[in-house]
Every structure is written in structure tokens, then in C-alpha cells.
């Protein structure tokens, strides 16, 4: 039951973030949506979620490459909705290319969006959570926070960084009623994955069908995608009172990928 709680979910105009934002609203919590996209479509998503759930749903357009906009998003949540109980650092992008050809601007962007944005949001959220005596920070890492795959140097580096950051924050806030954990999903069928299938096909000189079976699903012993509902399950546990002793941990929801 998330009634009376307020959550920010970064990168929640699509995919996993949108599913987690919907889960917060379904549990009775107010939500700040964030992410890129067509403004009219985002407004439709916001209004639909508000109407169907009866909670307050706001949108903040912070660009996750900009620290000052991220700090403004956190202040906006508290200003508009009165508090901040749950921060989900979820926004992320991917670029698939060998290290020697990796575009330097893509490297910088991935580190900024996938790693540094979590720092900016967390540093702004902690004082609010400390003052409330409770808080939950959930970082969307990846199986690639624990193991690597070729051609994803920036993403793998950023996601390993997220796990280190998660552990450090957890130690710093352990006595303040705040927890900080990472979720490490395997492949989930969202735009970030469907977009990379074509890139992987080009980089590996394979067909898109081969990429799907021999690269993407080959990683997962279950031979299927992880669903957003399966991520919602661990997320709702982590933000609940029962999750109070889960701190600084990484939860693999990857169909067995990293057990190999």
C-alpha cells in the first residue's frame, strides 16, 4: 500500500519506467513521470494514469544529462506533491559498437544518463528522505551491471558503476530509514532492446532473427524475455516496509543469465 507516498521514476515515458510508475499509482502513491517523447503523447499518458488510478500524476521534463534539471525535478516533486518517498533512477540508453569505433559523444552521454543522473537525483533526494525518516532508492542497473557483453563498453561500465554507487549510498543512509538497492534485469522487450537488434545485426554481421535467438535470448536460460510485471514484483517488495533490511544489494531478475 503506497497511499500517501510520493515517487519519482526517471525515464518513465516508456518501457520499464512506465510500468513501475503505473505500479506506484496502482498502489495509491502519487508519481512524478519523467522522460523524453512527444509532449502531447506524454500528457495523454499522464492524464490517463491520473484518471485510471485516482492519484496525482505530474510530469517533469528534466534531461538526465543535466544535473541542475535533475535537482529541479526532485525539488518539483516535493513542492508539487509535498514529499518524496521513492526515487527510481531508471532512465537509460544504449549504444552498440566496438570500443575502438565507439563514438566519444555516445560514451559521454551513456555515462551521464545511465550513471551520473542517479548521483544527481540521489544527492538531491537524500536530505528530503532523511528529514522524513524514511526513503527508498531503487536503481535500475542491469545484468550488464554484473557481467559484460562485447560492444557495450559504455553501458556495461555505467551499469557496473551504478552497482558501486548503490552500495556506497546504502552504507551512508543505513541509519536513516533509507534503503538503496539495484535491480538487475535481463532482457526485457522494450524500445531500448528492439532498437539495438538492428545495430547488433550490423555490428555482428548477422540477421535480426539470428541476433534475437543467438545473442539476446541466448543469454537467458529461460529463452524468453523478462516481463515488466516480473520487475514490478521485486520493486514493490523493495519499496515496502518488508524491504527495510534489503540494502546495498543487487537483485538479478534475469531468467538465470548471470548464474551461468
Is there binding between residue 39 and ligand NAD (CB under 6 A)? no
Catalytic residue among 59, 120, 155, 237: 155
Minimum distance from residue 4 beta carbon to ligand NAD (Å): 26
Return the bridge partners of 253, or none.
Answer: 185
> For ligand NAD, which is the closer residue by CB, 71 or 193?
193
The residue within the footprint of ligand NAD, chosen from 27, 29, 35, 161 (CB under 6 A), is 35
> Binding of ligand NAD at residue 203 (CB under 6 A)?
no
Main-chain dihedrals φ then ψ at residue 179, nearest 5 degrees: -120, 155
- Smallest distance, ligand NAD to C-beta of residue 117, A: 7
Output 84 or 253, the one with its CB closest to ligand NAD: 253
- What are the distances in angstroms from CA 170 to CA 181, 206, 251? 7, 42, 14
CB neighbour list of residue 25: distance below 8 Å, 6 or more residues apart: 31, 49, 50, 52, 53, 55, 57
234 binds ligand NAD (CB under 6 A): no
d(CA 184, CA 52): 29
Cβ pair 117, 65 in contact under 8 A: yes
Mapped onto helix, strand or coil, the DSSP state of residue 161 is helix
- Site size toward ligand NAD (CB under 6 A) is 29
Q: Which residue has the cell 556506497?
A: 168
140 binds ligand NAD per the rule CB under 6 A:
yes
Beta carbon of residue 128, minimum distance to ligand NAD (angstroms, whole number) = 20
Closest approach, Cβ 142 to ligand NAD, in A, equals 4
Closest CA to 144 of 154, 135, 132: 154
> Distances from the Cα of 239 to the Cαs of 90, 102, 136, 138, 236, in angstroms?
15, 37, 6, 8, 5
The whole-angstrom separation of Cα 253 and Cα 255 is: 6
- When the beta carbons of 148 and 193 are compared against ligand NAD, the nearer one is 193
138: helix, strand or coil? strand
5 contacts ligand NAD (rule: CB under 6 A): no
Interacting stretch for ligand NAD, rule CB under 6 A, among 48-56, 119-127, 191-199, 205-213? 191-199
Residues 47-86 that bind ligand NAD (CB under 6 A): 63-65
Q: Which of 8, 11, 27, 42 is in the footprint of ligand NAD by CB under 6 A?
A: 11
Q: How far is the CB of 96 from ligand NAD (least distance, A)?
A: 13
Write down the H helix ranges in the chain: 15-26, 39-53, 67-81, 104-111, 117-132, 153-173, 191-204, 208-210, 228-239
155 has catalytic annotation: yes
Tell me the window of 29-37, 74-82, 98-106, 163-171 that interacts with ligand NAD (CB under 6 A): 29-37
Active site residues: 155
Residues making contact with ligand NAD (CB under 6 A): 11-17, 34-37, 63-65, 90-93, 113-114, 140, 142, 185, 187-188, 190-193
Amino acid at each position: 500500500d503506497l497511499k500517501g507516498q510520493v515517487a519519482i521514476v526517471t525515464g518513465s515515458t516508456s518501457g520499464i519506467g512506465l510500468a513501475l510508475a503505473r505500479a506506484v499509482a496502482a498502489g495509491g502513491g502519487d508519481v512524478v513521470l519523467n522522460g523524453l517523447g512527444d509532449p502531447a503523447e506524454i500528457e495523454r499518458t499522464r492524464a490517463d494514469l491520473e484518471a485510471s488510478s485516482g492519484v496525482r500524476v505530474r510530469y517533469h521534463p528534466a534531461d538526465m544529462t543535466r544535473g541542475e534539471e535533475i535537482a529541479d525535478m526532485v525539488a518539483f516533486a516535493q513542492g508539487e506533491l509535498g514529499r518524496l518517498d521513492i526515487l527510481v533512477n531508471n532512465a537509460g540508453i544504449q549504444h552498440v559498437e566496438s570500443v575502438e569505433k565507439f563514438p566519444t559523444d555516445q560514451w559521454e552521454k551513456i555515462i551521464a544518463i545511465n550513471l551520473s543522473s542517479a548521483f544527481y537525483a540521489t544527492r538531491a533526494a537524500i536530505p528530503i528522505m532523511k528529514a522524513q525518516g524514511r526513503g527508498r532508492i531503487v536503481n535500475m542497473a542491469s545484468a550488464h551491471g554484473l557481467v559484460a557483453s562485447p560492444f557495450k563498453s559504455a553501458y556495461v561500465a555505467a551499469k557496473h558503476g551504478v552497482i558501486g554507487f548503490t552500495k556506497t549510498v546504502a552504507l551512508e543512509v543505513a541509519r536513516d530509514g533509507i534503503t538503496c538497492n539495484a535491480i538487475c534485469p535481463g532482457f526485457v522487450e522494450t524500445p531500448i532492446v528492439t532498437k539495438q537488434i538492428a545495430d547488433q545485426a550490423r555490428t555482428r554481421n548477422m540477421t535480426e532473427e539470428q541476433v534475437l535467438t543467438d545473442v539476446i535470448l541466448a543469454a537467458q536460460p529461460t529463452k524468453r524475455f523478462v516481463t515488466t510485471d516480473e520487475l514490478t514484483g521485486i520493486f514493490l517488495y523493495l519499496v515496502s516496509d518488508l524491504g527495510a533490511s534489503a540494502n546495498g544489494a543487487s537483485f538479478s531478475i534475469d531468467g538465470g543469465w548471470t548464474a551461468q
